[in-house]
Amino acid sequence: MFGGSKLEKSIDRRGFKFIFREIRDMGSREIKSPEDMLETPASLEEDGRSRKKLGMFFIESDNRRTAFGRGYTGGTTPVDIHGKPIADLSKTGGWIAALFIFGNEMAERMAYFGLSVNMVAFMFYVMHRPFSSSSNAVNNFLGISQVSSVLGGFLADAYLGRYWTIAIFTTIYLAGLIGITLCASMKIFVPNQDQCDQLSLLLGSCEPAKPWQMLYLYVVLYLTAFGAAGIRPCVSSFGADQFDERSKDYKTLLDRFFNFFYLCVTIGAIVAFTLVVYIQIERGWGAAFGSLAIAMGVSNMLFFAGTPLYRHRLPGGSPLTRVAQVLVAAFKKQHVPFTKSELVGLYELPGRHSAIKGSGKIPHTDDFRCLDKAALQLKEDGGNPSPWRLCTVTQVEEVKILIKLIPIPACTIMLNVILTEFITLSIQQAYTLNTHIGKLKLPVTCMPVFPGLSIFLILCLYYSVFVPVSRRITGHPHGASQLQRVGIGLFISILSVAWGGVFERFRRGYAIKHGYEFSFLTPMPDLSAYWLLIQYCLIGIAEVFSIVGLLEFLYEEAPDAMKSIGSAYAAIAGGLGCFAASIINSIVKSVTRNPENKQRSWLSQNINNAKFDYFYWLLTVLSIINFCFFLYSAHRYKYRTEQTFEAWETKQNILAEDS
CATH class of domain segment(s) 77-317: mainly alpha
Task: Report angle CA 458, 464, 467 to the nearest 5 degrees.
Answer: 85
In whole angstroms, give the CA distance from residue 382 to residue 536: 63
Q: Residue 378 pairs with which residues in a beta bridge? A: 343
Rg of the chain (C-alpha set): 27
Cα distance between residue 581 and residue 414, in whole Å: 9
253-267 burial, b if ≥16 CB within 10 A, otherwise e? bbbbbbbbbbbbbbb
Whether residue 316 contacts residue 356, with contact meaning beta carbons closer than 8 Å, is answered with: yes
| Residue from 422, 419, 418, 430 nearest 607 by CA | 430
Q: Is there a contact between 639 and 70 (Cβ–Cβ < 8 Å)?
A: yes
Name the residue among 180, 247, 189, 256 with its Cα closest to residue 219: 180
28: pLDDT strictly greater than 50: no
Higher-confidence residue of 146 and 179: namely 179
What distance in Å separates the CA atoms of residue 492 and residue 485, rounded to the nearest whole number?
Answer: 11
The candidate with the shortest Cα–Cα distance to 426, out of 226, 619, 594, 559, is 619
Average pLDDT over the chain, rounded to an integer: 78
CB-based burial of residue 29 (10 Å sphere; 0-12 exposed, 13-18 middle, 19+ buried)? exposed
Please, where are the H alpha helices in 432-562? Answer: 449-461, 467-474, 482-513, 533-543, 549-557
**Domain segments of the chain as ranges:** 77-317, 319-398, 407-658
What type of residue is 562? M
- Phi, psi for residue 395 in degrees, rounded to 5: -65, -40
The residue that leads in pLDDT, 411 or 21, is 411
Q: In one letter, which amino acid is 30?
A: E
| Structure confidence by residue, pLDDT tens digits, 554-576 | 888 888 778 777 778 888 888 88
600, pLDDT greater than 50: yes
List beta partners, residue 85: 79
77-317 against 407-658: fold identical: yes
Quote the crossing angle between the two packed helices 211-240 and 131-147, to the nearest 10°: 40
pLDDT at position 83 is 78
Q: What Cα–Cα distance (Å) separates residue 218 from each residue in 117, 210, 221, 295, 405?
A: 16, 12, 5, 22, 34
At the top level of CATH, which class does the domain 407-658 belong to? mainly alpha
Q: Is the pLDDT of residue 628 over 90?
A: yes
Q: Tell me the C-alpha distance between 552 and 462, whole Å.
A: 15
pLDDT, tens digit, 9 for 90 and up, residues 467-476: 788 778 777 7
pLDDT tens figures, 512-540: 888 877 776 677 888 888 888 888 889 88
User: CA–CA separation, 640 vs 363, rounded Å?
Assistant: 9
Q: What is the DSSP string of 97-114?
A: HHHHHHHHHHHHHHHHHH
State pTM to two decimals.
0.74
